[in-house]
Amino acid sequence: MKDQRSIPYPFDIQKTSQKKRYHKDVNYESSPMALNVFSIYQICDLACSSDYIVQKHRQICHEISYIVSGEGTFYRNEKAYAVSPNTIFLVNVHDVHSITSAKNAPLRFMCLGFIFHKDHPDYPKYEHIDRFFDTLQDPMVPDKNNLFGLFSLALNEVSSYDPLSGEMFESYVRQIIIQTYRNFTLIPRHHIDLADINDTNPLLYEITNYIDTNLTNIKHLADISSVFDYSYGYLSRTFSQVMGITIKDYYTQRRLERAADLLAQGISISQVSEQLQFADIPSFYKVFKRYYHVSPRKYQVMINEKPELEEKSDPKI
């Protein structure tokens, strides 16, 4: 989105024929739509022609773009990124941004422009997302959370006359923002059907079941080799080939999910660190923050909505 004071509106491009093959653009820039903790500046679905260009402009909001089809180049702060289908691209307030569509494979993309209301009572729940977006170095990531479906549902609600459409639209906007954050931050979450695994590969079932039931007892992951009487290398290779995720990543995912659950229950950070066999509290902070992009203490603040707790009391790491 543009900064009106100095840079042209991004979709006010040079006037040539057939620039847009299809364009569903709902623009609230002159009067942003307030949705509680968010204000919406634009939501659109644009199918470009091969000569389509979004001229260089400076953002006045966060903007999430989802590439539906085609190819092209997105520019952020003078750096070029080749985009392709099922890619998410994020630009932030004050970023300089432009787009060109590939000649032989014109782009179709969806985008959402928005800001957070920092004075809204719900903002503390989203502060870590806002901060993460503001400091993001690599703005591009593959989508694993069906943003296409969420964008489609949100756009359908915009043109609906149902009296509850506003509620539905806000719900989809929240999901787009949260799922974008998850795409950038979380280790891929694999749904594992243990019953199916037990039928096809009992050994892998036993590994996942052992990890799930012994998260507070495993001191060294390689020690599981003695439990199953196979080398850790063999177990790791077999697990990765079938499950599509390493044993280490599965263990990390499950351990940090358990940590988040315990923190949400009000268990102290030191107790969670000790129960889950972290070497010390600073190590726990480092791993938890790398996974959730928020410290354990800040996570408890957001979950319990106790703003009097401050990040300043976090340990130095």
- Identify the helix (H) or strand (E) that includes residue 238: helix 232-243
pLDDT the model gives residue 121: 92
Whether 282 and 153 map to the same domain: the answer is no
pLDDT single digits (tens) 97-113: 999 998 888 899 999 99
Give 52's pLDDT tier (boundaries 50, 70, 90).
confident
Q: Which CATH number does the domain housing residue 286 bear?
A: 1.10.10.60
C-alpha distances out from residue 202 to 208, 218, 242, 298, Å: 10, 21, 12, 40
Whether 146 and 204 map to the same domain: the answer is no
Over range 2-17, report the average pLDDT: 32
Identify which of 7-21, 118-132, 286-300 has the greatest average pLDDT.
118-132
Over range 169-184, report the average pLDDT: 92
Q: CB under 8 Å to 221, separation ≥6 — which residues?
A: 232, 247, 248, 251
Whether 69 and 200 map to the same domain: the answer is no
pLDDT single digits (tens) 204-225: 888 888 888 888 888 888 888 8
pLDDT the model gives residue 191: 46
Share of the chain above pLDDT 90, in %: 29
Whether 112 and 60 map to the same domain: the answer is yes
φ, ψ for residue 143 (rounded to 5)?
A: -90, 130
Q: Which CATH number does the domain housing residue 160 bear?
A: 2.60.120.10
Gap between the Cα atoms of 68 and 57, Å rounded? 23
Whether 35 and 177 map to the same domain: the answer is yes
Whether 37 and 171 map to the same domain: the answer is yes
Q: Does position 311 have pLDDT exceeding 50, yes or no? A: no
Over range 253-281, report the average pLDDT: 87
Among the listed residues 21, 22, 25, 18, the one whose alpha carbon sits nearest the alpha carbon of residue 10 = 25
Whether 64 and 169 map to the same domain: the answer is yes
50-73: burial string, b at 16+ Cβ within 10 Å, e else: bebbbbebbbbbbbbbbbbebbbe
Could you say which of 185, 213, 247 is where a domain stops?
185
- Kind of pairing between the strands at 96-101 and 33-35: unpaired
Among the listed residues 299, 304, 305, the one whose alpha carbon sits nearest the alpha carbon of residue 314 = 299
pLDDT the model gives residue 123: 92
Asked if residue 301 is part of any domain, the answer here is yes
What mean pLDDT is reported for the chain?
80
- Bin 240: left if φ > 0, else alpha if -120 < ψ < 50, else beta: alpha
Q: How far is CA 75 from the centre of its chain?
A: 20
Whether 176 and 211 map to the same domain: the answer is no
pLDDT single digits (tens) 114-171: 999 999 999 988 988 998 898 888 899 988 888 988 898 898 888 776 788 888 999 9
Residue numbers of the domain that contains 59: 20-185
Contact by Cβ (8 Å): 151, 88: no
Whether 252 and 108 map to the same domain: the answer is no
pLDDT the model gives residue 308: 40
Structural domain tally of the chain?
2
